[in-house]
Structure 1
Amino acid sequence: MAGRRRWSTEEILDAAAELLRTGDAESFSVRKLAATLGTDSSSLYRHFRNKTELLRAVADRILMAAMDDYRPEGDWKQRITATALRLREAFGQQPQLALIWGRYASGGTGSRLVMEELLQALQASGLPDEEIPARYHRVVILLAALIASEAGISTLTPEEYEQGVELFRVAVLGADPERFPALAHFARDVRPLGADRRAAFEDILAAQLTQIEAGIS
């Protein structure tokens, strides 16, 4: 009787990424992944100690893909912006995995590549070394929040998105001006959360980098 096939780490990660594209981290389980591969959970635990370690490895592969063939160009702000846009694009292609990155911080090679580039860029800014870790942390938290927020919208079906836009219009345009005077005043100019996401992403990041620049003596 032939034994069960032994799956490589990369094949396991491929299958896990595919499951996560059609689901989420909450519904994902090692047991489901094992069933997809036609094996038992114990065989997967030879590669990953638990579900969290597996999810971190999946997220790290996205980071590695984002930094593939990356070459630093421009000044420190351009480097951080370029890295941020690469992360945005990589997770934009697999939005279900963006939430995993924000929740399960990776310590793999992909994570190190992103950390190294951001830290080097901040060093090039002229900031004192003692300020760089805190500034780095704020930039990463901002990127993770923006990318996760955008990913959440990206996973909506067209019908769900349109329904949300319609509810937004009703809530805004139908606001009672006596109870919600500011909302009524700006009703025709306020945009839904999903509108102009790329411009909003770049503007918010630029504001953070401008704040950093203002603190450089």
Structure 2
Amino acid sequence: MAKEVVPESARRRRRPTRTGTVLSEQIIVRTALRVLREHGSTGLTARRLGTALGADPSTLYRYFSGMDDLTRAIGDELMGRALDSWEPTGDWRADLRALGLAIHASYLAHPQAAVLTASRVTGRPREIAVDETILGILRGAGLPDAAAVHAYHAFIDQSLAFAALDAGSLALTDEARTADEEMWESTYARLPAESHPNIAATARLLARRMPHSAYPAVLEMLLEHTAARLARTGV
């Protein structure tokens, strides 16, 4: 059974940790991001995090009901950072584009954390604020509610799916990532036109394009689709 989380007012330490830090949820989450960066998505444990904080691992359970609760808080932090870096303009298309790119960038700044959290629904305040913002942009543009939800679903899942995909590549060792990228030159570019005419015809273009994220291009496709749907509504 998950442990009951102690209310914020009751759980703050009366004295600093061994490192001189007074713990808070935010400090724990930020430290967890550092542990993930150093040890990878499988390396985040209560013991390792406690060591990084200079506190007994059991202290974490005064702030989070378990490691899964902490994982959700990490995802919420990444969402919040995306929203903090975004400025609305009042142009629905520009605003959605900028917010999508901000979400993608926030997760890629912490690829190990992205691998761990991109598929999660946190239900926490900062994620909820992002969802409210996206739906507000879409409804404000004139989409009926059902169409707005459809576009929201495609937008957020697309953003997070590419965040997970691209973060997975960044989380590889430099050697493994370089080997994958070189495959387009070492293997695909050498396939004979007789057996693989389409790959052979586009091999050089593939080699230049494939090491880069497709997210900006796919985001534009979604924005074009949404614009076309708006045009059909007569807005």
Sequence identity percentage: 27
Gaps of 5+ in 2: 1-14
Q: 1:55 aligns with which of 60, 71, 75?
A: 71
* Aligned twin of 1:36: 52
* Aligned twin of 1:109: 125
* Aligned twin of 1:120: 136
Equivalent pairs counted in the alignment come to 212
Q: Which amino acid aligns with 2:122?
A: S
Q: Give the whole-Å Cα distance in 2 for the aligned partners of 1:178 and 1:69.
A: 50
1:1-217 maps to which residues of 2 (within 5 A)? Answer: 5=17, 7-68=23-84, 70-191=86-207, 193-195=210-212, 197=213, 200-216=214-230, 217=233
Q: TM-score, normalised by structure 1?
A: 0.86
1:60 match: secondary structure: helix
Per-residue deviation, 1:152:
2.3
Per-residue deviation, 1:162:
2.8
Indicate the RMSD between aligned Cα atoms, in angstroms: 2.3
Q: Give the whole-Å Cα distance in 2 for the aligned partners of 1:205 and 1:69.
A: 18
83-92 or 136-145, larger mean C-alpha shift: 83-92
Per-residue deviation, 1:100:
2.8
Q: Give the whole-Å Cα distance in 1 for the aligned partners of 2:98 and 2:200.
A: 38
Per-residue deviation, 1:71:
3.5
CA deviations on 1:113-150 (whole Å, 9 max, x unpaired) are: 21111101110222111222222111101001112222
> Structure 1 residues 89 and 4, CA, compared in 2 at 3 Å: closer, same or farther?
closer
2:187 match: secondary structure: helix
Q: Which amino acid aligns with 2:39?
A: G
Per-residue deviation, 1:158:
4.1
